[in-house]
């Protein structure tokens, strides 16, 4: 609850156009009602807020008290109650939160008529869950400008709304078999096996039955198909299932998985690298000594393959731990720009260059990072042998600056009040 209140307070400053009926300070009686309502809301009780609303609705906290009176009872809320709130408080952060939560609830109920009305009553929500729900709404399907697969593949693997939308899309032919295989691979990499199981019926032929087997008994499935197909070339569907089985087995027996990858030759370099990176990642999480060699094996298998950012981060940490400085440099090179430009990875890449004897380049990189005001800046200064003394004696005397007096607005007053209620 405390985190929610702080978040709301921060959001108020970020949202423009918030309207408040009254910016007049609250009376002592109103303060007491507000405190009681806030405390009860933090405990999931809406009644004190509902009782206090008549006395507070015309104040700068009115929209929040109204929100507190409705949010705890979303499961039993009616469309009429929501519309009454929306008419009384048509904008602001509280209304934005309630509208989003009410849309989620309407989608859960599959009340598409009211979902359509609320969805079209304002800006399109940016929450991917609601965008997937909108694709399930017959009245809104034509308003979406992105494909169902794009939304599905962009959502977390365990997102219920987007998975439900995908099942509808598969039934309607809006998602292809190739796209389904791509998403199953993402689900297996995310260890979302229970979610992947629900898509077995949508695979063509016997692949659905075999998909279930790769989840429940991946080692037995692999051994059985080695006996049937050998270790050479398999069919396209069997190769796809093999990759999924190996990704599943990597979470249980990574060592056995590595041996299978080295034994079976039907996988291409990218598929092998993907499985091996997952094995190395699992080994890292359990502090297995093989993690460093498996990361190296994955990289050598396909130097152009780009694993997930989290895996690359742990690849660097593992390489540092075991002293594989070339691997540090390789992992940072594989990172996408937003990740590789983070100061921690820039620092460790510079350290790796220093350890590998590229002294001039390493010192140039460390010099760009060096600063007494950041953690990795201080580490860079230490690596360069520079003093961390801030030399405060030579600092210029601060000048007196007259700060302007700001007029406290209603949104700011509400933000402060929410902070005080924490």
Sequence-separated contacts (24+) of 139-143 with Cβ below 8 Å: 139/112, 139/113, 140/115, 140/116
Segment 111-169, tens digit of pLDDT: 999 999 999 998 888 899 999 999 999 888 777 778 999 999 999 999 999 999 999 99
Which pLDDT score is estimated for 13?
43
According to the model, what pLDDT value does residue 418 have? 80
Q: Please give the pLDDT value at position 16.
A: 42
Distance in angstroms (rounded) separating the CA atoms of residues 245 and 218: 5
- Measure CA 416 to chain center: 29
| Among 245, 250, 188, 185, residue whose Cα is nearest residue 220 | 245
- Average pLDDT over the chain, rounded to an integer: 90
pLDDT below 70 — which residues of the chain? 1-22, 390-399, 402-408, 422
Q: Are 307 and 336 in contact (CB under 8 A)?
A: no
Q: What is the pLDDT of residue 412?
A: 74
Structure tokens at 237: 């569907």
258 within 8 A of 276, measured Cβ to Cβ: yes
Q: What pLDDT does residue 15 have?
A: 44
Question: pLDDT for 350-393, tens place per residue?
Answer: 999 999 999 999 999 999 999 999 999 999 999 999 988 766 55
The pLDDT value given to residue 141: 78
């Amino acid at each position: 609850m405390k985190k929610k209140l702080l978040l709301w307070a921060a959001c108020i400053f970020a949202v423009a156009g918030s309207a408040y009926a009254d910016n007049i300070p609250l009376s002592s009686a109103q303060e007491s009602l507000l405190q009681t309502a806030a405390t009860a809301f933090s405990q999931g009780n809406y009644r004190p807020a509902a009782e206090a609303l008549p006395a507070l609705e015309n104040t700068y906290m009115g929209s929040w008290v109204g929100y507190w009176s409705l949010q705890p009872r979303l499961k039993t809320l009616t469309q009429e109650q929501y519309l009454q709130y929306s008419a009384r408080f048509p904008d602001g952060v509280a209304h934005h939160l309630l509208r989003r939560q009410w849309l989620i609830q309407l989608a859960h109920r599959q009340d598409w008529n009211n979902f359509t009305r609320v969805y079209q009553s304002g800006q399109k929500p940016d929450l991917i869950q609601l965008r997937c729900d909108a694709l399930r709404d017959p009245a809104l399907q034509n308003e979406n400008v992105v494909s169902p697969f794009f939304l599905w593949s962009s959502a977390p693997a365990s997102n219920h709304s987007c998975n439900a939308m995908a099942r509808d899309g598969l039934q309607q032919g809006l998602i292809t078999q190739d796209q389904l295989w791509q998403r199953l691979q993402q689900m297996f990499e995310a260890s979302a096996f229970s979610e992947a199981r629900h898509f077995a019926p949508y695979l063509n032929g016997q692949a659905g039955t075999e998909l279930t087997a790769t989840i429940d008994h991946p080692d037995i499935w692999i051994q059985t198909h080695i006996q049937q197909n050998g270790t050479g070339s398999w069919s396209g569907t069997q190769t796809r299932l093999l990759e999924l089985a190996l990704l599943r087995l990597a979470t249980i027996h990574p060592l056995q998985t590595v041996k299978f990858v080295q034994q079976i030759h039907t996988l291409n370099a990218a598929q092998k690298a993907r499985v091996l990176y997952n094995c190395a990642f699992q080994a890292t999480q359990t502090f297995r000594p093989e993690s460093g060699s498996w990361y190296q094996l994955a990289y050598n298998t396909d130097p152009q393959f780009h694993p997930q950012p989290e895996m690359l981060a742990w690849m660097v940490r593992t390489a540092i731990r075991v002293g594989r400085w070339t691997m540090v440099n390789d992992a940072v090179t594989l990172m996408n720009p937003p990740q590789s430009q983070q100061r921690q990875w820039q620092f460790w890449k510079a350290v790796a260059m220093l350890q590998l004897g590229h002294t001039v380049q390493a010192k140039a990189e460390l010099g760009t990072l060096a600063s007494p005001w950041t953690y990795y800046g201080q580490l860079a200064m230490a690596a360069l042998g520079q003093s961390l003394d801030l030399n405060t004696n030579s600092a210029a005397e601060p000048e007196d600056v007259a700060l302007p007096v700001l007029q406290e607005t209603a949104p700011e007053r509400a933000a402060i009040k929410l902070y005080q209620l924490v």
